Chain A
Amino acid sequence: MMYIEREDDAVILRDLPVWVVDTLLCLPEWIESDNPAVRDRLLPKAYLDDEADKEWRDSLGSSLEHLFATRTQIVGKDLRNLEISSGPTAPGDEAFAAQTLFQVRIPGPHVSAWVSTLQAGTHALFILEGLTSEDVSREIPSTDDPEKQVSMLRLAVLQEILVNLLGE
């Protein structure tokens, strides 16, 4: 069972199964997607008036993109230091992929970048996988579509990590 351990200067996500690691590694791709709906969600309108909004985007849009990219890079850097926390350690082991659990250390100053990146990732995933409000409003998945169920599971784990990082 995945859990979070707090140290003085860091947070450690322990016992992450492969599919959770895979989900985390997908974050940059999802957030940087050129899907127009994703871009619109991550850079929403500030003004209802189109002209005022264009001025806004021209002046501040790039700074937000830069901010998101910087945060994503921080998360990516931490994920490159992924370690095995338990289970078989040799890739030659047949059960390697299924049983090995991983851990990632998040330095204290990186936590806010993680929180924002996880938040951005949930929005991007929601759009890219075609999820609906109804899909995510139920405790138990309301779909028989296995791909959609996987997407909802990924979304749920991102939210769970995010909430845990917020310290509650």
Chain B
Amino acid sequence: MQIGTDSPSWSPSSGTRTLEQPETRVVPQLARPWNVIVHDDPVTTMLYVVKVFMEVFSYSQMHAHELMMEVHTTGRSVVWTGDREQAELFVHKLHGKHLLAHLEQTDSG
């Protein structure tokens, strides 16, 4: 039986065939980011929420107000997205200010 020298390669001395591994590239998989989500509650005033967003996230008053309105009208808002460690720090600060907040990983990276 004639065996070609092209792939798969033939090694006459050993009589074995070597399968060349297809080239693979390792693409770094970025961790999926985390969302910080704030929920509406019946007691907290709108002004307080705006002030907390400005203080915790250093948001402008306008952006903080937009997010507060989203919380107020829809019941919740994603107020920040990023790495887990920072998201945990923000949630800790929000809990320290008595806002209802939790973090959850996003569906895609």
Contacts and interface: CB of A to CB of B under 8 A. Distances in A.
Interface of A: 41-48, 56, 60, 64, 67, 115-116, 119-120, 122-123, 126, 132-133, 136-137, 155, 159, 162-163, 166, 168
Contact of B45 (A64, A116, A162): A162
A48 B102 contact: yes
Contacts, number: 59
Interface size class of B (residues with CB under 8 A): 20 to 34
A126 B45 CA distance: 14
Interface in B31-62: 41-45, 47-48, 51
A119 B102 contact: no
A166 B95 contact: no
B59 to A, nearest CB: 16
A64 B96 contact: yes
B69 interface: no
B70 interface: no
Interface string B62-99: 00000000000000000000000000100110011110
Contacts of B97: 116, 119
Contacts of A136: 42-43
B43 A123 contact: yes
Q: Select the residue from B43, B47, B91 with max chain A CB neighbours within 10 A.
A: B43
Interface string B97-109: 1101111100000
Contacts of B96: 64, 67, 116
B100 A44 contact: yes
Contacts of B44: 119, 122
Contacts of B102: 44-48
A47 B87 CA distance: 11
A67 B44 CA distance: 19
Contacts of B88: 46, 56
Given A67-B96, A119-B98, A162-B48, 19 more contacts: A42-B98, A44-B100, A44-B101, A46-B88, A46-B102, A46-B103, A60-B92, A64-B92, A116-B96, A119-B44, A120-B98, A123-B43, A126-B43, A132-B42, A136-B43, A155-B43, A162-B45, A163-B45, A163-B47
Contacts of A162: 45, 48
Contacts of B47: 163, 166, 168
B42 A133 contact: yes
B98 A137 contact: no
